[in-house]
Amino acid sequence: MKRRQFTIAAASSTAALGAGLFTLTSIKSVAQPVLGKAGTDYMVLDKAAPYEPVVGKVEVVEFFGYWCPHCNAFEPELENWLKRLPSNVSFKRVPVAFNQVHEPLQKLYYALESIGRVDDMQRKVFTAIHAEKINLNTQDAIVAWAVKQGIDQKKFVDAYTSFSVNTKVAKAKQLVNAYKIDGVPSLGVAGKYYVDGTLAKGMTRALQITEQLAKDAKPA
């Protein structure tokens, strides 16, 4: 993935994050190893770009694509990470389309979200594309696949073609542009910070940095 070109916020260029995770219950007086540094391990956006902020919570966003093999590989680790999020963190996924070929898969995600099937279908979509090599690049192919998964065809098509789903796709594109995303998977924190595997030197460390940023961020 390409390195982010965000301008670093003035006071943050040399600030370091102390090591620590959500599971940390106290701060020790001894010096902590540096977990991440602005401009090197994560970026600070020039302008805040919240997605769907929830009052009293810190928003964490994953930018992903069903079409992306790296996102497919990252999904199990992300799912395990989500199991231990604290109650003051709001997590959202944002599907990314870098071209028109990817747009049907954006709509697939939001259609599944609309009918309440993301949680049980997320891994199945990745498996269909990357393990079973099923082409899901068109609406017809997606609908046929969804029906085979036991989803009601009319209900799914109504969601897939709805104004609500099209609106969410447009909103996702705006957020991708605001973050200047050019690679996935990547993470946004509090509408202010950007982390990816290239900056953090791996997605495991990217999650650790995300945890610390979310822990230190001011809730919406």
Taking the C-alpha atoms of residue 117 and residue 111, their distance in angstroms, rounded to an integer, is 9
23-70 pLDDT, tens digit each: 332 333 333 344 789 999 999 999 999 999 999 999 999 999 999 999
Strand 34-37 and strand 16-18: the pairing is: antiparallel
Q: For residue 198, how many other CB atoms are within 10 A of its CB? A: 15
Query: Which residues face 17 on adjacent strands?
Result: 36
pLDDT of residue 202: 96
pLDDT of residue 27: 30
Q: Higher-confidence residue: 220 or 101?
A: 101
Taking the C-alpha atoms of residue 30 and residue 189, their distance in angstroms, rounded to an integer, is 27
- The fold for domain 10-216 equals Glutaredoxin (3.40.30)
Say how far residue 132 (Cα) sits from the centre of its chain: 24
66-88 pLDDT, tens digit each: 999 999 999 999 999 999 998 89
Residue position matching structure tokens 């979509």: 125
Largest CA distance in the chain: 60
pLDDT of residue 98: 96
* 115 burial type by CB count under 10 A (0-12 exposed, 13-18 middle, 19+ buried): middle
Domain ranges of the chain: 10-216
pLDDT of residue 220: 84
CB 186 within 8 A of CB 195: yes
Cis ω on the peptide bond leading into residue 50 (within 30° of 0)? no
Q: % helix / strand / coil in the chain, to the nearest 5?
A: 45, 15, 40
| 187 φ/ψ angles, rounded to the nearest 5 degrees | -135, 140
| 33 φ/ψ angles, rounded to the nearest 5 degrees | -65, 150
pLDDT of residue 18: 39
CB 160 within 8 A of CB 108: yes
176-204 pLDDT, tens digit each: 999 999 999 999 999 999 999 999 999 99
- The conformation of residue 88, written as its DSSP 8-state character, comes to T
